[in-house]
């Protein structure tokens, strides 16, 4: 009999989850278009941003980074098929605790419905736990609530915004 955890296991013969790298430029900018407008992002801007993300370490945790952008790669094609970010915010409250923010989750249209989103969120959450976050939060559309509930998130609070 096949259990839920078996069916949800990432097929590591095909897929790999890793930190984003400079050579992902085209795939990542394309994958993000399922989420929103990406606009003009040159290769140079992309590389500069990745270097910045790589350079910022968490206070007192030199092995952990503030910016944790992950991708899922199809190892057979070498293409990025999903991407997402965990931004870790060092706070004063909770004894200078860390809060994780999940941002910019996107799975390429052709790869949706294969549990890749689930595995991406799981990896981001594991990264947050390893880095010492006491909670991880995110904003999403009502249509995606069910997706995040499948990864053990629950509704909390109300999002507000001011746009410029
Ligand atoms: N509503 C309810 N359940 C859902 C939804 C949804 N919108 N999407 C997926 N699920 C369920 C699946 O049925 C599956 O359930 P199961 O375990 O019972 O089979 C489970 O959630 C996991 O689904 P995945 O296959 O991992 O989902 P997928 O890889 O397709 O990724 C995602 C979902 C990320 C929402 C994808 O559809 C996508 O990229 N959408 C466009 C961009 C987007 O909306 N991103 C999220 C923005 S919010 C943010 O960035 C914080």
> How many domains does one find in the chain?
1
Is 113 contained in some domain?
A: yes
Is 163 contained in some domain?
A: no
Model pLDDT, residue 8:
86
Question: Is there an atom of ligand 1 within 6 Å of 112 CB?
Answer: yes
Is 93 contained in some domain?
A: yes
Is 156 contained in some domain?
A: no
Model pLDDT, residue 153:
98
Phi/psi zone of residue 19: left (φ > 0), alpha (ψ -120 to 50 degrees), beta? beta
Is 44 contained in some domain?
A: yes
**Range of the structural domain that residue 11 is part of:** 4-150
For the domain that residue 54 is a member of, what is the CATH number? 3.40.630.30
Question: Is there an atom of ligand 1 within 6 Å of 153 CB?
Answer: no
**For 136-141, what is the mean pLDDT?**
97
Is 36 contained in some domain?
A: yes
Q: How far is the CA of 58 from the centre of ligand 1 (A)?
A: 30
The closest-lying atom of ligand 1 relative to the alpha carbon of residue 8 is: 17
Question: Is there an atom of ligand 1 within 6 Å of 121 CB?
Answer: no
pLDDT tens for 84-137 read: 999 999 999 999 999 999 999 999 999 999 999 999 999 999 999 999 999 999
Nearest protein CA to atom 26 of ligand 1, as residue? 115
């Amino acid at each position: 009999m096949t259990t839920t955890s078996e069916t949800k296991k990432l097929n590591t013969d095909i897929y790999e989850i890793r930190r984003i790298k400079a050579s992902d430029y085209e795939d990542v900018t394309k994958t993000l278009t399922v989420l929103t407008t990406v606009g003009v992002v040159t290769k140079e801007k992309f590389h500069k941003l990745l270097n910045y993300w790589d350079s910022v370490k968490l206070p007192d945790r030199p092995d952990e980074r503030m910016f944790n952008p992950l991708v899922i790669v199809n190892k057979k094609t070498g293409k990025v098929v999903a991407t997402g970010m965990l931004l870790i915010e060092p706070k004063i409250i909770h004894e200078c605790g860390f809060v994780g923010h999940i941002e910019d989750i996107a799975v390429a249209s052709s790869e949706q419905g294969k549990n890749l989103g689930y595995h991406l969120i799981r990896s981001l959450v594991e990264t947050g736990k390893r880095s010492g976050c006491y909670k991880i939060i995110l904003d999403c559309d009502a249509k995606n609530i069910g997706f995040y509930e499948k990864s053990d998130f629950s509704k909390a609070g109300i999002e507000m915004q001011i746009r410029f």
